[in-house]
């Protein structure tokens, strides 16, 4: 009898814990109650993991809401939101004064991100100086042997000029230096990671939040890019992650932006490998 009572008591406690956890999960999303329209998001690819997780949580609790998420890069996000094609345009850079004036943009910064040069995990050249990195991307250093690695050509991977990831890497890591005409173009952080993962002689760059065991970050001037070194300011190739709207956000769009800045939204930011702003 005592054993049965203890089991029943433990079961009731477990049920109460689960119900309380579910209530806490839902309570942060109560603001979306009654919404039933589509929210369209596009732009920077670094943002996508956070966007997808936030969307999943919202739509799980409020299935009448539909949230669509597409990439395309920072430039595309700014242009598409400015032209009214989407509700939120994500960018890994601040919109320029000209873009703000043309489209009447409002910007919200909800995370901080580093951008790191990455190589294949088996590449025996784990660190570079800033000058070496600039010379590689300019096409002045063309083989890994020059840097103490294998006698094989260096395969450079980059992004197009509309990419916010490219812009911060070009400005802060490459000091606005040349990028070789022989560089291979990829369309997103995910595509860049995949390219480097599958090419033992590659060098490219990704958001620090995308780094995992499939790619190796390059230590630059003695500093290894990581969440900790970006947060401390020791690693300086960093930028904000922004969401842009045409004018001040209202309705469901405003609620989504506020959710990104809420305690739960900022927890998602941390879970996905970025630095929260709150």
pLDDT at 8: 42
With 50 as the cut, is the pLDDT of residue 1 above it? no
pLDDT at 27: 57
With 50 as the cut, is the pLDDT of residue 14 above it? no
pLDDT tens across 131-151, in order? Answer: 999 999 999 999 999 999 999
Phi then psi for residue 249, to 5 deg, are: -65, 145
pLDDT tens across 55-82, in order? Answer: 999 999 999 999 999 999 999 999 999 9
Query: Three-state SS for 26?
Result: helix
Instruction: Tell me the mean pLDDT in the region 247-252.
Output: 97
- Predicted confidence band at 28 (pLDDT cuts at 50, 70, 90)? confident
Closest to 192 (Cα-Cα) out of 178, 211, 168: 211
pLDDT at 109: 97
Residues 6+ apart with CB under 8 A from 82: 89, 99, 102, 103, 104, 105, 246
CATH of 114-238, one of 3.40.190.10, 2.60.40.180, 1.10.150.20, 3.40.630.30: 3.40.190.10
Average pLDDT of the chain? Answer: 91
Distance (Å, whole) CA 27 – CA 21: 10
pLDDT tens across 210-247, in order? Answer: 999 999 999 999 999 999 999 999 999 999 999 999 99
With 90 as the cut, is the pLDDT of residue 20 above it? no
Positive or negative torsion for Cα 100, 105, 110, 116: negative
Give 40's strand partners: 68
Residues of the chain with CATH 3.40.190.10: 13-112+241-276, 114-238
Look at the pTM and tell me if it is higher than 0.85. Answer: no
- Predicted confidence band at 23 (pLDDT cuts at 50, 70, 90)? very low
Second CATH level (architecture) for the domain 13-112+241-276: 3-Layer(aba) Sandwich (3.40)
pLDDT at 166: 96
Element (H, E) at 113: strand 105-119
């Amino acid at each position: 009898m005592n054993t049965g009572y203890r089991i029943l008591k433990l079961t009731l406690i477990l049920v109460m814990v689960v119900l309380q956890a579910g209530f806490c999960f839902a309570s942060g999303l109560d603001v979306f109650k009654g919404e039933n329209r589509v929210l369209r998001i596009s732009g920077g690819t670094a943002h996508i993991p956070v966007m997808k997780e936030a969307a999943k949580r919202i739509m799980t609790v409020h299935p009448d809401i539909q949230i669509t998420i597409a990439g395309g890069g920072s430039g595309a996000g700014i242009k598409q939101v400015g032209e009214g094609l989407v509700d939120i345009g994500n960018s890994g850079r601040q919109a320029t004064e000209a873009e703000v004036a043309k489209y009447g943009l409002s910007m919200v910064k909800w995370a901080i991100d580093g951008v790191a040069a990455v190589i294949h995990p088996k590449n025996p050249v784990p660190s570079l100086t800033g000058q070496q990195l600039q010379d590689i991307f300019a096409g002045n250093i063309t083989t890994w042997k020059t840097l103490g690695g294998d006698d094989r050509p260096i395969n450079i991977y980059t992004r197009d000029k509309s990419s916010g990831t490219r812009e911060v890497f070009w400005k802060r890591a490459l000091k606005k230096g040349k990028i070789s005409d022989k560089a291979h173009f990829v369309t997103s952080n995910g595509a860049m990671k995949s390219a480097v993962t599958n090419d033992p002689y590659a060098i490219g760059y990704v958001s620090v939040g995308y780094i995992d065991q499939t790619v190796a970050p390059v230590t630059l001037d003695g500093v290894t890019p990581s969440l900790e070194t970006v947060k401390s300011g020791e690693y300086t190739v960093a930028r904000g992650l922004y969401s842009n709207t045409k004018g001040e956000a209202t309705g469901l769009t405003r609620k989504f932006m506020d959710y990104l800045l809420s305690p739960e939204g900022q927890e998602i930011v941390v879970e996905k490998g970025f630095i929260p702003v709150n």
